Amino acid sequence: MSSSRYPTTTDEDAQSDNQAHDLLDDRRVKAIRPLIPPQILTEELPLTLRGAQTVLDGRRQVEAVVKGDDDRLLVVVGPCSVHDPEQALVYARQLADYAEKAKDDLLIVMRVYFEKPRTTVGWKGLINDPDMNGTYQINRGLKMARKLLLDVTELGLPTAGEFLGEYMRRPLGRRASCAIAMCARVSTEKKRWRRSERKQGGKLRGKVLGRRNRRREGRRSLRKGRRPEQRKAKKADTIADVISPQFLADLSSWGAIGARTTESQVHRELASALSMSVGFKNGTDGSIGIAIDAMGAAAASHTFLSVTKQGLTAIVETEGNNSTHVILRGSTKGPNYSEKDVLEAGEKLKKAGLNPRIMVDCSHGNSNKQHARQIDVGRDIAAQLAGDGPTAQMIMGVMVESNINEGNQKIPPEGPKALKYGVSITDACISLEQTLPLLDELREGVRQRRRNVAAKRTPV
C-alpha cells in the first residue's frame, strides 16, 4: 500500500492543529482571574449569632407582612446603590434608631444594593468595581459588600438586596427571524429590479413596487401582532447571575427582581431557590402580567446550573418560593401607584389565584425619575392606607430611594476622593432628613388603617 494513503502527523501539522484549537475558544477573552470560593469568604467574614438572628427574624416578619399575617407596612428604604460602605453604615445607624421607634407600625428593611444594571456602559456597582476606576477588583468588592452587610445586621437592622445578571442580547424569536429574512429578500429584489430596470427601461417598476408594498404591509402586521414589550423594547435582555447569591444571600431578609429581569426565566428559577421573600417589579412598559407570571413560576420547583459554597459547578434543584409579591414601579407610560392602578393590579392577582398583596416603589417610573416626587408618592400611599377603600388592605409595602444627602452626582475625573459626602452616584435619592418625616406619615396611615378595621369589627 502507498504510504500517502495514511499520512503521518508532522510538527507543522501539530502546530497548525494547536492554532486551530486556539481560534475556537476564548478568542475575545483578555484574561481569566480566579474568584474566591463562597465558603472561603463566609469563613473569613462569618455571620455572628446576633446577625443571624436579625436575618432570620427579618425574613419571618417580612413573610408575615407579605402574606397578610402582620398588619405593619414593609418599608424597603436606602441608597439606590452603595458606593462607600462607611457612609452606608452611617446611614444604617440612623435608620436603625428610627426603625426601633417605629417597629409597632413599620417593618423597616434597609436597601443595600451592590450591583447596578447597565444598558450600555458605566459603573456597575461596588462588587464589580469597588475602586470606581475600571480596575474591577471583584474579590475585594465581594469582601467589602459582605463586611457591610454583617455590620448592618449587627445593628439589628434587616437588609434587602436585588439579584441581577449580566446583559446579554435576547435570542431572535420566530417573528423577528421571519422579518429579517423578509427584509433580506426585499433587499435582494431591489437590487434585481435595479439591474432589470436598466436593461428593460423601467417596465418592471410597477410589478416590483407592488411586491414591495405587500411585503411592507406584512412587516407592519408582524409588528402589530407582537406584545407591547416585544414591539418597543430595544434594550438587551438579561440572564441571571446565579453565582453571587452564594456569597451574600445568607445576609438578606428580602430580595427584588428588577423590571428588566422579571421576565427572565433564569431569574424566576433563582427566585424559586432563595430563602427569603422576593418582589417582582412590573415591566418597564407597565405590564403587570409578567410579574404575575413570575410569581407563578417562582412558586414551582426548578432545576438549573449554579455553584456550591465550595465553588464547584453544580445542578441545583429547588422546592419553589411561595412568598413572592408584585412591586408597582411605574413605567415609561407613567406612574401606576394610584388607587385605580393598585386596585386593578390586585384584581389581576386575584384572578390568577394569588394573594393581592402589593408593594409600591416610590421611585423610578412612579416619580418620573424626579427624586423629590417620591415624597408625593409616599403621601398618596399614606392616604390610601388611611382611607376606607379596598387598596388600604392590598398595599403591604413601599420602596424609597434615600441617602444621607439628596440628589446624585457623577464620578469626577479626579476620582472617588472628589465625591460629595453622602450623595448617590447612581439614581438621585431624597435625603435622610426628608425620609424620616415621610415615614412618619406612612406610620400614621398604618395606625389609621388599624382604627378603620377595628371600627368595622365593633358591633353597632
3-state secondary structure at position 288: coil
Confidence grade of residue 147 (pLDDT, cut at 50, 70, 90): very high
For the chain, percent of residues with pLDDT exceeding 90: 72
CB-CB neighbours of 440 under 10 Å: 16
Q: Does 139 have pLDDT greater than 70?
A: yes
Confidence grade of residue 163 (pLDDT, cut at 50, 70, 90): confident
CA–CA separation, 429 and 79 (whole Å): 7
Candidate CATH numbers 3.20.20.70, 2.10.10.90, 2.60.120.680, 3.40.50.720; the one for domain 38-169+239-457: 3.20.20.70
Question: Mean pLDDT lowest for which of 17-21, 363-367, 434-438?
Answer: 17-21
CA–CA separation, 107 and 76 (whole Å): 8
Confidence grade of residue 122 (pLDDT, cut at 50, 70, 90): confident
Inter-residue contact 68 to 396 (CB < 8 Å): yes
Q: What is the largest CA-CA distance in the chain?
A: 110
Confidence grade of residue 459 (pLDDT, cut at 50, 70, 90): confident
C-alpha cell at 418: 472628589
DSSP notation for 253-286? SEEEE-TTTTT-HHHHHHHHH-SSEEEEEPPTT-
Pairing outcome for strands 358-361 and 324-328: parallel
DSSP notation for 44-98? HSPPPHHHHHHHHHHHHHHHHHHHTSS-SEEEEEE-SS-S-HHHHHHHHHHHHHH
Residue 155 φ/ψ, nearest 5 degrees: -75, -5
Quick one: average pLDDT of 107-114?
98
The β-bridge partners of 277 are 254
Work out the end-to-end distance of the chain between its first and last CA atoms, rounded to an integer number of angstroms. Answer: 110
Quick one: average pLDDT of 114-142?
87
pTM: 0.81
Residues ≥6 apart with Cβ < 8 Å to 280:
256, 257, 262, 271, 290, 291, 294, 295, 298, 324, 325, 326, 327
Segment 366-405, tens digit of pLDDT: 999 999 999 999 999 999 999 999 999 999 999 999 999 9
- Check residue 210 and give its pLDDT: 54
Q: How much helix, strand and coil, in percent to the nearest 5, is found in the chain? A: 50, 15, 35
For the chain, percent of residues with pLDDT exceeding 70: 78
What does each C-alpha distance from 131 to 109, 140, 146, 263, 423 come to in angstroms? Answer: 27, 9, 16, 32, 17
Mean pLDDT (the chain) is 86
**Cell 430596470 identifies what position?**
197
Residues ≥6 apart with Cβ < 8 Å to 74:
62, 65, 66, 106, 107, 109, 254, 359, 396, 397, 398
Q: For 154, what's the count of Cα atoms within 13 Å in the CB-facing half-sphere?
A: 11
Domain ranges of the chain: 38-169+239-457, 174-232
Segment 335-375, tens digit of pLDDT: 999 999 999 999 999 999 999 999 999 999 999 999 999 99
- Check residue 214 and give its pLDDT: 53
What are 96-105's contacts with CB under 8 Å, separation 24+?
A: 96/155, 96/156, 96/157, 98/436, 98/439, 99/157, 100/156, 102/439, 102/443, 104/72, 105/72, 105/73, 105/443, 105/446, 105/447
